[in-house]
Amino acid sequence: MARQISFADAINEAIKETMRNDENVILLGEDVAGGADLDHLGDEDAWGGVMGVTKGLVQEFGRDRILDTPIAEAGYVGAAVSAAATGMRPIAELMFNDFIGSCLDEVMNQGAKLRYMFGGHAKIPLVIRTMHGAGFRAAAQHSQTLYGMFTAIPGVKVVVPSTPADAKGLLISAIEDDDMVVFFEDKTLYNVKGEVPEGHYTIPIGKADIKRAGDDLTIVAIGKQVNTALAAAEQLAQKGIEAEVVDPRSLSPLDENTILKSVQKTSRLVIVDEANPRCNAATDISALVADKGFDYLDAPIKMVTAPHSPVPFSPALEDLYLPTPEKILAVVSELIDDESVVTI
């Protein structure tokens, strides 16, 4: 099985698989098809999403199930919540996670709480797909990484895949899940290719994946930062230091055991999260280990994150903004007394 497809295509396939299996699955969002009601286009899509991720779906499933929406995030995300509560399985695309500013109520106060407030007499099988991350020169309002905000909200599950294969299997799980799942897609990963199985398969939400095994040090990295961590691990290996790279894949629920076991083995922990540094997933994982894994630790828990500032537009600044293998090596050198670790 050597079929290589892109992260974007893997997501497209996941949606297709589930829509074929269950007619209650619908997709709605801004320009997810595009060109609605235009005679000269007919059933053809004009866009298939701003990045083309949902291209071709309207041709197969029609405009009743692939619904272009007005620019009204509260309107259609809220509609997706109650559609879910009344028997549908909607996938709502929030084009950029930054736009949660326009529909947080629908996610936090409605979707995430209805089941609890109704005493369990409702379920919300809703997936919100959303794009996040810096590195695209998209500036402060289109580059944030906000999974921490959602992880904080009870009633929401949070998934952040790092590879095409994980993206497909996790998205199918998310769509088939009976709870609300916010599914984060890093916009700089869309063109990255990888081996992806054909057909329907699932990856359980709440199961971390060890992307590289190692005994000397644990690096927990989220989303595309898994790649940064793997690059750092590669360089560390050349110095004889074997880092274990743990990809949590979902932040809520978080696979605590896999992380704790890894730290038990390595005694050292670095967390890489490209979000801003305060109250983020990195601090969450650090606090987990500082509590339940304290006795395993031989050194401080280090975090590599963005600084406490908005994402700058200028490429010169944005490149400094993100975590890099070098920044990881720099903190590793603080954990392991070996100056040679720092290559830059």
Question: Looking at beta carbons only, is 197 or 204 nearer to other proteins?
Answer: 204
Question: Looking at beta carbons only, is 97 or 262 nearer to ligand TPP?
Answer: 97
Q: What is the pattern of x (binds its own copies, CB under 8 A) and - over residues 291-310? A: xx-xx-x-xxxxx---xxxx
Of residues 90-129, which lie at the interface with other proteins (CB under 8 A)?
98-99, 101-102, 105-106, 109-110, 114-123
Question: Looking at beta carbons only, is 95 or 160 nearer to ligand TPP?
Answer: 95
Distance CA 274, CA 281 (A): 9
Residue 275 binds its own copies, judged by CB under 8 A: yes
Q: Of residues 5, 59, 82, 300, which one binds other proteins by CB under 8 A?
A: 82
CB 34 within 8 A of CB 98: no
Residue 300 binds: one of its own copies, other proteins, ligand TPP, none (C-beta under 5 to 8 A by kind) = its own copies
| Helix ranges, the chain (H) | 7-21, 57-61, 73-85, 104, 114-117, 147-151, 164-176, 225-238, 256-266, 281-292, 315-321, 325-335
**Residue 143, CA atoms < 13 Å, CB-side half-sphere:** 21
Residue 19 binds: one of its own copies, ligand TPP, other proteins, none (C-beta under 5 to 8 A by kind) = none
Where do we find the tokens 């100056």?
A: 339
Q: Both tokens of residue 179?
A: 């709870």
Residue 164 binds: one of other proteins, ligand TPP, its own copies, none (C-beta under 5 to 8 A by kind) = none
- For residue 84, which of 122, 29, 32 has the smallest C-alpha distance? 122
How buried is residue 316: exposed, middle or buried, by Cβ count under 10 Å (0-12/13-18/19+)?
exposed
Residue 300 binds other proteins, judged by CB under 8 A: no
Q: What's the min distance (Å) between Cβ of 70 and ligand TPP?
A: 9
To the query of whether residue 142 is one of the catalytic residues in this protein, the response is yes
Distance CA 46, CA 143 (A): 25
Q: What's the min distance (Å) between Cβ of 134 and its own copies?
A: 13
Other C-beta atoms lying within 10 Å of the C-beta of residue 309? 11
Other C-beta atoms lying within 10 Å of the C-beta of residue 154? 10
Residue 79 binds other proteins, judged by CB under 8 A: yes
Distance CA 321, CA 46 (A): 34
Residue 316 binds other proteins, judged by CB under 8 A: yes
Active-site annotation, residues: 142
Interacting residues toward its own copies by CB under 8 A: 98-102, 104-109, 112-113, 116-117, 139-141, 148-149, 151-155, 251-252, 254, 275-276, 278-284, 286-292, 294-295, 297, 299-303, 307-310, 312-313
